[in-house]
Amino acid sequence: MLKKQSRESIIEIQNTFNKYKEVVDDVALLKFCGKVKEITGSLIISEGPFAKLGDICRIYKSDKTYIDCEVIGFRNQDVLISAYGSVNGITFGNMVYSFDKPLSIMCSDKLLGNILDGMGKPLNGCVHKFYETPISIHHRAVNPLNRPRIKEHIQTGVRAIDGLLTVGKGQRMGIMSGTGVGKSTLLSMIARNTNADVNVIALIGERRREVLDFIERDLGEEGLKKSVIIVATSDDAPLLRVRAAYTATTIAEYFRDKGKDVMFMMDSVTRFALAQREIGLSRGEPPTTRGYTSSVFSELAQLLERTGTSKKGTITAFYNVLVEGDDLDEPITDAVRGIIDGHIVLSRDLANRGHYPAIDINKSISRIMSEVVSDMHKKSAKEFLKMSADYNEVKELIMIGGYAKGSMPEVDKAIEYKSAMDKYLQQDIYEISSFADSKESLLSMFYSREEIENDLLESGDIKIENENSKISDNVQYVGDNLLNDNLVIL
């Protein structure tokens, strides 16, 4: 009897212990402390605490408020810290406490439809405590041997991309241009029209005014329902702008690991690089090309390599790159182009002529396209690009009347197709074009209706009738018009 009571008491004690242990484990204990020694710009130098690179710290100000920070380096016995917010109000001797762990964010399916800051905290009043899975924002990309090859296309809803620069599920693309040429608008078209399961959108260094414009005007209510938006505006601390990109990537990885096809969009990589440059210079890194520190380029590679395919799902990524002075060979543009799987160049000249989206198809490339489209599609895109290049080569001569018809047969053909090509490439912001619509419109320039229908059937591309698609209803196939053996898009 005594043994039974003793055993029950032990079980009761164990249950009580486990109960309180769970509570304690959920509390982020402040284990180590130090003191603020010096502040230089956004860099805080403290004597202690004992911490590791990347650990989260908290500084308590004299007015009892606090600011969260991160360890970014060490100098002799001092700890170099960067804040996630303004350093105003911090003074000599303020206590610095270490959490002894890196930044983690809370993830769940309830993130859909919400807007978060760079630390993963809600900006639109959602209940943060219901997110049940804390995930560190710092981890390595998928093992290259565990990345399946890209064999399937994804719909962007932008005719010029789906038809001529087809993107595969898990591909990483850059959108490159100077300011005011339509990068953000192009991203919003993709976000609304893609057939991906989830959108994760990172707005890095954007103007505060543009955030709500993008959400309400460009993305819309329907687009927001399947999206998670991470925002770090231009006036946020450099560290918060950098960490916002990692937070967004981590959320995209969470949905990918649940078997989803994720569309990841980041605007912009350039502002991420500028923020990382600020951090690098503040901790004493020597500047290199155009003032960028070496850490900028290593951080770019680590960030961009985390998107892509895995055995569970895919992350298809579009990275906006703000090109300084429209120079496509400037350091950040060149570095990004060397990491990703293709790029889309937007032309200021096309934008000035009201040609939207202002995609310069002859300067753009999708390195995966040949792996994810049919032979007919591939040949049609190749012929379209050739005609466009042929026309651009003699465009100035044509405009001044210096070209004589019959001089070059390939140029004559390009001139004949010019209006049809422009019609195909231009698309209203709210015009919807499914992948099958875009493909059919392209192939109809070179193949008969029967050949196209067989190709659509074999490749599994289903044509969806949509009243908002303006071009698919006006397609005329080769052979339909006996007076002209070439396409005419009316």
Q: How many helices (H) and strands (E) does the chain have?
A: 16, 16
- Of 102, 128, 163, at which residue does a domain stop? 102
Co-location of 340 and 242 in the same domain: yes
Q: Are residues 287 and 177 in the same domain?
A: yes
By residue range, what is the domain housing residue 324? 106-371
CATH number at residue 407: 1.20.1270.330
- Split at pLDDT 50, 70, 90, the class of 221 is confident
Exposed, middle or buried by CB within 10 Å (0-12, 13-18, 19+), for 29? exposed
> pLDDT for 165-185, tens place per residue?
999 999 999 999 998 898 989
Domain boundary among the residues 71, 102, 133 is at: 102
Same domain, 115 and 97: no
Point out the domain boundary residue: 320, 354, 371.
Answer: 371
Judged against a pLDDT cut of 60, whether residue 318 lies above it is answered with yes
Q: Where are the alpha helices (DSSP H) in 283-326?
A: 294-304
Cβ(143)–Cβ(251) below 8 Å: no
Domain count for the chain, please give it. Answer: 3
> 251 and 364 share a domain?
yes
Same domain? 170 vs 78:
no
Residues 243 and 143 in one domain: yes
Note whether 152 and 194 are same-domain residues.
yes
Quick one: pLDDT band at residue 127, thresholds 50, 70, 90? low
**What confidence category does residue 226 fall into, taking pLDDT thresholds of 50, 70 and 90?**
very high
140: pLDDT strictly greater than 80: yes
Highest-pLDDT range among 149-163, 323-337, 461-475: 149-163
Same domain, 451 and 351: no
Q: At 31, is the pLDDT very low, low, confident or very high (cuts 50, 70, 90)?
A: low
Burial 390-404 (b: 16+ CB within 10 A, else e): bbeebeeeeeeeebe
Q: What is the share, in percent, of the chain residues with pLDDT greater than 70?
A: 86
- Top pLDDT among 78 and 461 is at 78
Kindly state whether residue 442 falls inside one of the protein's structural domains. yes
Measured distance between the N- and C-terminal CA atoms of the chain, rounded to whole angstroms: 95
Which tokens belong to 289? Answer: 């090309």
At 334-384, the pLDDT tens digits run: 999 999 999 999 999 999 999 999 999 999 999 999 999 999 999 999 999
Q: How confident is the model at residue 481 (pLDDT cuts 50, 70, 90)?
A: very low
27 part of a folded domain: no
Q: Is residue 10 part of a domain?
A: no
pLDDT value of position 407? 85
Does a structural domain hold residue 486?
no
Q: Based on the fold, state whether residues 469 and 411 are members of the same structural domain.
A: yes
Report if pTM > 0.85.
Answer: yes
* Average pLDDT of the residues in 307-317: 97
- pLDDT of 327 reads 85
Whether residue 9 lies inside any domain: the answer is no
Buried b (16+ CB within 10 A) or exposed e, 355-384: bbbbbbbbebbbebbebbbeebbeebbeeb
Residue 481 covered by a domain: no
Is the same domain home to 391 and 309?
A: no
| Same structural domain, 261 and 210 | yes
Q: Is residue 2 part of a domain?
A: no
Structural domain contains residue 253: yes
Give the confidence band of 9 by pLDDT, cuts at 50, 70, 90.
low
Same domain? 192 vs 321? yes
Give the CATH number of the domain where residue 318 resides: 3.40.50.12240
Mean pLDDT (the chain, rounded): 87
pLDDT reported for residue 33: 87
Could you tell me the CATH number of the domain that includes residue 38? 2.40.10.170
